[in-house]
Homo-oligomer: A and B are copies of this chain.
Amino acid sequence: MEKKTVGIGLVGAGFMGRCHANAFRSVAGLFDLPVVPRLSMLADASDELARRGADALGFERSTADWQALVRDAEVGIVAITAPNLLHAPIALAAIAAGKTVYCEKPLSTTAASALEMTGAAEAAGVTTLVGFNFLHNPMIRLARDIIASGEIGEVTGFRGRHAENYMASPDAPHSFRTDPAGGGALADIGSHIVSMARFLIGPIAEVQADCRTIHPTRPVAPGSADRAPVEVDDMTHALLRFENGAAGSIEANWAATARHMDLSWEITGTKGALAFSQERMNELLLWSGTPGRSGYTRIEAGPAHPPYGAFCPAPGHHLGFNDLKVIEVAELLAAHAGQGSCGPDFREAYDVQRVIEAMQESDRARGWVTL
């Protein structure tokens, strides 16, 4: 029996576009899906770019007009990896067309516009998913299950961080990342650690942040000798209190010289603790207190931690970053076919963005901000 298919319409063929395409190509051979993706159409900024992208990534058709893609009858899922400023108009058009919408993070450049997108999606009843791919790691799900089970007791403390070094050089140029509308280290990567904190512990009630610009100017373009002022943060440290009473801190830092992917945290509970870093994404540390034998146990990912088994029947064989995107897409396809809901959806992405904006506001106000 032939499986049902769904046409994928991808907008944007850059880094994340390639990553989406790869996930859609791989997923059907790894997961038993209710609906199989077809790489139907790719849109990019020009006909030429779109055609080349479609050839490279294996899409059937291409267009320079994302509106045509959104309206296309064969397209059931619109995947948005376009520049951040375009997320809102594309998503709103896709929602209006009744399509499932799969959008890269950040959902939008402002919480206000993210809320508008969320409201539209909820009113239309369409399935949405935002690409906080790190949440789909089997070890992160294991962590959530452990916390939910009460195994580490009540959560008391959280200490999180997302630190990379891609903007560490004062000569890393301006780009959309440094645009005051939605830019800065906190918005760009701090959103990952905020989303993970929420995923694992729950809503955040209050924040107090210190946003710092390390390099006051940057080149206006790659290699340019002209420099322009930087208006966004390179590094933010923040205090946070969760609704359930836990408290802690986060750091977002894109000038963390020594770090490539330190999306990491320790969660302390009254009976145990958990620790994780994306630097060793196939491991979770779990502390339990057998007398004389207490210590962190290094759990290696394996088939006991779904959906690892979809990739390999043997433990210890390592998932990679691109595999997280495959898991994300598998859940999207299941939700599109009506089998459960996927997450994080637009509502969740909006809530993350509210936390980010509250942190930015607390920095300006030099005091706590309640959400």
Interface residues of A (CB under 8 A from B): 3, 15, 18-19, 21-22, 25-26, 28-30, 32, 55-58, 142, 152-153, 156-157, 159, 161, 164, 166, 168, 170, 208-210, 212, 214, 235, 237-239, 241, 247-249, 251, 253, 255-261, 266, 268-273, 275, 278-282, 286-287, 289, 291-300, 302, 304-305, 311-323, 366-368
- Distance of A212 Cα from B244 Cα, bound (Å): 13
Task: Tell me what chain A mostly uses at the interface: helix, strand, loop, or mixed.
Answer: mixed
Q: Are B28 and A26 within 8 A (Cβ)?
A: no
24 A-B contacts (beta carbon < 8 Å): A15-B314, A22-B29, A29-B56, A156-B214, A168-B270, A170-B270, A212-B247, A237-B249, A249-B249, A249-B251, A256-B268, A258-B287, A286-B293, A286-B295, A293-B299, A295-B299, A295-B300, A311-B321, A312-B322, A318-B318, A318-B321, A319-B320, A319-B321, A320-B322
Query: Given contacts A18-B29, A318-B318, A319-B320, is CB(A270)–CB(B257) below 8 Å?
Result: yes
Closest Cβ of chain B to A149, distance in Å, is: 11
Could you tell me if B241 and A239 are in contact, using CB atoms closer than 8 angstroms? no
User: Separation in Å of the A344 CB from the closest CB of chain B?
Assistant: 20
* B157 in contact with A256 (CB, 8 Å): yes
Q: Judging by beta carbons under 8 Å apart, are B312 and A292 in contact?
A: no
Add 13 more A-B contacts to A157-B251, A239-B249, A311-B320 (CB < 8 A). Answer: A25-B29, A156-B235, A156-B255, A159-B251, A237-B239, A248-B251, A256-B273, A258-B266, A258-B275, A258-B287, A261-B315, A295-B299, A366-B367
